[in-house]
Amino acid sequence: MTDVSALAAITAALSQDWKQAVQINTKLLLENKDDVDSLCRLAFAYQQTGKLTLAKTTYQKVLELDEYHQIALKNLKKLTTLKSRDVSHTSKTTISPILFLEEPGKTKIVECVHLAPAQVLSTLTSGQEVYLKAKNHCVELRDDRNRYVAALPDDLSFKLLKFLAGGNAYHALIKGVEKKSLKVFLREVSRGKKFATQPSFTPSFAYVPMVKDQTAKEPAETEEGEAEENEET
């Protein structure tokens, strides 16, 4: 028997089992048709399966109940540039928080440049894998359909071009995506023989200036001053 609960609906979404997500949230709405959370999850599941008209209608129901619902507003705006053929039908995989675990020297969160049009960005979701493609002077990011998504900044591209040519391998996941912003999480998977001892990314440490501690002298100066006063008296 299928578990019909909010937790089951969330689990289905995290596993990208959108068919199951639609079924569970639909059943939850039979119990409470004004459940905003279930409506929002259902709309997103429709969106991920290319049923964009149903997604729009469901998001509009959310806004009828909560006109300032940020997720519904944001995704409705996305849907204005999205078409069914643009929806990526990748095989379902569970998005684990462990994938975003940072390791000094081996991982880096990057703000991308030269973004693809909004029509392409609107098809991306957090946790989605993208792929590095080395070009002559930069490293591009491509989706599973080999569509251009964005590029890495010049300084990082220059560095990674050298590492990629030397046999290093990397895993890239979408960290966050907006209309004019895209962040990816890069992880070094393996190193080529040439760079076996060289980390891909330089760990960033906050600089804390060393200031000579003057507090220890103050009591001594006070005692000396008191001694001088006693001698005068």
Looking up residue 52, the CATH number of its domain turns out to be 1.25.40.10
Q: Give the torsion through C-alpha atoms of 202, 203, 204, 209, to 10 deg.
A: -100
95-145, pLDDT tens digit by residue?
555 456 778 889 999 999 999 988 788 778 878 889 999 999 999 999 988
Give strand ranges (E) for 9-165: 107-111, 129-134, 139-142, 148-151
Looking up residue 190, the CATH number of its domain turns out to be 3.30.70.2330
Query: Looking at the structure, do residues 78 and 102 belong to the same domain, yes or no?
Result: no
* pTM: predicted TM-score of the whole model, two decimal places: 0.56
- What are phi and psi for residue 67, nearest 5 degrees? -65, -15
pLDDT at residue 165 in the model: 95
CB 163 within 8 A of CB 193: no
pLDDT at residue 190 in the model: 92
User: Contacts for 67-76 with beta carbons within 8 Å, 24 or more apart?
Assistant: 69/36, 69/40, 71/40, 72/40, 72/43, 75/43, 75/44, 75/47
Name the domain boundary from 22, 52, 84.
84
Range of the domain at 162: 97-195
- The half-sphere exposure of 3 on its side-chain side, counting CA atoms within 13 A, is 8
Q: Which amino acid is at 92?
A: K
Higher per-residue confidence, 114 vs 76? 114
Q: How many domains does the chain have?
A: 2
